[in-house]
Every structure is written in C-alpha cells, then in structure tokens.
Amino acid sequence: QLQRDLEEVKELLTKATRKRVRDVLEAEKHRLEMEIKNQPPPKPKDAAEEEKSSLGGYTVKINNYGWDQSDKFVKIYISLNGVQKLPAENVQVNFTERSFDLLVKNLNGKNYTMTFNNLLKPISVEGSSKKIKTDTVLVMCKKKREEKWDCLTQVEKESKEKEKAAYDTTDPSEGLMNILKKMYAEGDDEMKRTINKAWVESREKQYKGDIPMDI
C-alpha cells in the first residue's frame, strides 16, 4: 500500500508545475520513503502462511496505548483484559532497530496486533523485551542512547513540527498556506481534490477580476 502511494506521488510530481504543489508532493514523497525504509522485513512466505493459518478467529488492530520512558527504556503499555492467562508463546513481539510489532493470539477468541514503524530513535533489539502483567502487555524498547524522546515515531515528530511552523509564522497568509499543505499531505484523495479545486477557483477569480486588486 505504501509503495503504491509513493508511485502515485512520484507520478504527480512529474506533472506538477507550481512550486508550492511540488513542495507539498516532495515532502509527502520523503515521508513515504522513510516509512517504507523503516518497515520490518517481510517474513518468509511459508512462515507467514503458517502463522496466519494458526491464528484462527479474527484479528483486531490495537490503536489505544499509553507510554512513558526512563533513561534507558521507552515503555509502551497495551491494555488487554485477561492477557495474563494466555500461554507465554501466545504473546509475541518482534523488534528491529526502528520498529516493533506485537501479536497476541487467541485471547477470548480474537487475535490482536499492533505495529510501530519509524520509531523516533534507534533501539537495541537484543536489549528490548516484553512483560505480561494483569490485563496489560508492557513492551520495553531499550534505547541505544540514553536521551529523552519527545514522541514515539518520526512521523509524530514531523507532524508536530509542521503544526508548530504553521501557527508560529508572523504572516497570516503563510500560516494558512502551511495549514493547507499539512491538510493536503495528510489528507485522502477527496481532501486533495477539494484543496486543488479551491486553489484553481481562487486563481480563476483573480484573473477574471472578481477579486478587487489593490491600486
């Protein structure tokens, strides 16, 4: 899916002529390339098929979590009722230097997954681990460097920086343009079509003289 998005952005870049539109597309292209680069490697087909067939039930994607950090660890807390009753092998966490994915199998007839790609900073695969507590899975990501993380992922950091830049500007029109760029970069196809249409209509009104010009 990410690769298809990237190909479409590249195609749009070849057609874009306006600098602002190209800037938006270049930013989105860079973000997608970083996300693809930091994805965990695909599992061998046989192993993936075997795991899939062993799951049974249906799989739920986990979106809610809490996190904090110490000097040495980033800790992610995932609430799952009754998880402590499962066999240890039913709770699996795979780590790479910039990602981890959690799989909880056959908890009350369902499977649960959570994936974090593009972690803000590198982690030690060997030093990272999981702990099962009452109704909670604790994922312990060992920091390679003992430094504070402002957020969990690179994407979150970029999003915060874009928002800050949009609201910190002293030029109101520039601030509006930054907000539109953010909406365009993160929006779906419908949002992008709406922004493009509004931009074109605005330019057409200016050319037709519907918008008064300063004399």
Sheet with strand 110-116: strands edge to edge: 58-61, 110-116, 99-107, 91-96
Min mean pLDDT across 46-55, 142-151, 159-168 is at 46-55
Phi and psi (nearest 5°) for 208?
Answer: -80, -10
Higher pLDDT, 52 or 91: 91
Higher pLDDT, 156 or 72: 72
Q: What pLDDT score was predicted for residue 53?
A: 47
pLDDT in tens, 115-153: 988 899 999 999 999 999 999 999 999 999 999 999 999
| One-letter amino acid for residue 156 of the chain | E
Sheet with strand 66-69: strands edge to edge: 66-69, 73-79, 136-143, 123-133
pLDDT in tens, 89-122: 999 999 999 999 999 999 988 999 999 888 999 9
Segment 23-41 mean pLDDT: 81
Is residue 173 very low, low, confident or very high in pLDDT (cuts 50, 70, 90)? low
- Is 50 exceeded by the pLDDT of residue 61? yes
Segment 164-182 mean pLDDT: 63
Is residue 45 very low, low, confident or very high in pLDDT (cuts 50, 70, 90)? low
Global pTM reads 0.53
Segment 41-48 mean pLDDT: 56
